[in-house]
Chain A
């Protein structure tokens, strides 16, 4: 039975929720607005809100002066590469845990999760040293590997919780009909698992895109992704608000859009299936 709600109460709820929502969103909104202003308008007091001469100049300047496209490309390769690689490695593992569980499955899952809790700063120097020795410092390949390893536990977990929801009887039926293990995975399991795999990809691209410990510490000029690109605006360029805003918008826009599609998966992925 649904509760009947008076329109008056609904109106109050709406006003309160929108006010809070806009307040929380305000820094992002302000950044977007500022990115279309001139530098003078960006620091104007009192601030200008919507009525200014909208300009795209900042975006052009940022691209021209700091080669935005290169950082974007690095971000895409690193976030995309690490996620795809992680999913390829995780699918068989999650499959076997979900459909051929043994006594140790739970322990292995929890152990994997525990590797995720390892504080990055505790292993910073060893990784740094290994990267120098292997010639991986400031390379995209090195970051792809590190971010893949960081997110692998989450990927395995997410896939595991999705796979577990697929009824085992269907797989058994396929097996009865003489499907080999390979056929079973390729033709029976995969089509049913596509939504889960897609959500896993989405969330992990977001996590890898925003990762800001390893990407800042293991890159210099060549492999630096957008997190490092923005950090380079720290000062003194950061005082040019309009350009800083344009750079920020370009760094967060792709993920903001992807993120809005992944709200539901976010909860499941980040709580390791403990809250659904």
Chain B
């Protein structure tokens, strides 16, 4: 169908986007790789020679590495469980016939459009502040001692803030998937006397399988990289230092670029493993 001429034109039209992205990927990546094998301390003399694999072993053996891995996993898994489970329930609820469905949908989706620094700050000060926060008022109303959310319960608080931001995303995608479910199948099951739980387990859940996988993969990629929420609330203190935050601190705060870059290479490898799964699903969809 396509002529030779249109083919070469097509290649030419693709070129700017491809070249730009290639540069965006290769240049910083090569530099990160290069720095990771260097002793590089911009504030203490700059490039101090080759370091071999020392940065890689030091990054992994430092006392903050495993806690950071643990924190990262707890946040990612915690937020995923909350958003996917609540997302499924919410999607089913929003799919039911009701009055004002459009408005409810808007209310539920809204947090996704709030910039991360705003949601972190609003939660931190107006809700979780131990003296004037709304939750402190609520606790006192019931005669309880207000909780120092971000220091005593730092991880649950952070997970709660991030879940609030991502629940709309999960809900919206799962709702879209549910709406494509053939309602006759459900009706037939209902007439055959299948109880709600069975209808959910054998019809709705399998139908949502792919959408759930996609939600999990996309959220994992974004959750591995959350930054502003930690930056604004705890600054990495109280056990909330994730792997990406640790790298950020090594590179920009303590200016140990070699060490931070080695950490960056680990982060890139980790993200690529997750991404490979996502690519498979998206790729399959392309053929369809």
Contacts and interface: CB of A to CB of B under 8 A. Distances in A.
Interface of A: 1, 3, 5, 10, 13-14, 16-18, 20-22, 24-25, 27-28, 30-31, 34, 43, 45-47, 89-90, 92-93, 95-97, 99-100, 102, 106, 108-110, 112-115, 117-130, 149, 152-153, 156, 168, 172, 181, 206, 209-210, 212-213, 216-217, 226-228, 230-231, 233-234, 238-239, 241, 244-245, 248, 251-252, 255-256, 258-260, 263, 266-267, 270-276
Given A95-B13, A97-B14, A210-B113, A126 B176 contact: no
Contacts of B237: none
B126 A30 contact: yes
Given A24-B111, A121-B225, A181 B264 contact: no
Interface stretch (B23-31, B51-59, B151-159, B198-206): B23-31
Nearest to A234: B232
Binding site secondary structure of chain B: helix
B112 interface: yes
Contacts of B37: none
Nearest to A229: B117
B96 interface: yes
Given A30-B134, A124-B264, A206 B93 contact: no
Contacts of B18: 93, 108, 112
Interface size bracket, B side: 35 or more
Contact of A227 (B2, B25, B117, B272): B117
Contacts of B281: 274
B268 A231 contact: no
A119 B272 CA distance: 9
B184 A1 contact: yes
Given A21-B108, A118-B271, A206-B113, A92 B125 contact: no
Contacts of A231: 117, 121, 228, 231-232
B261 A89 contact: no
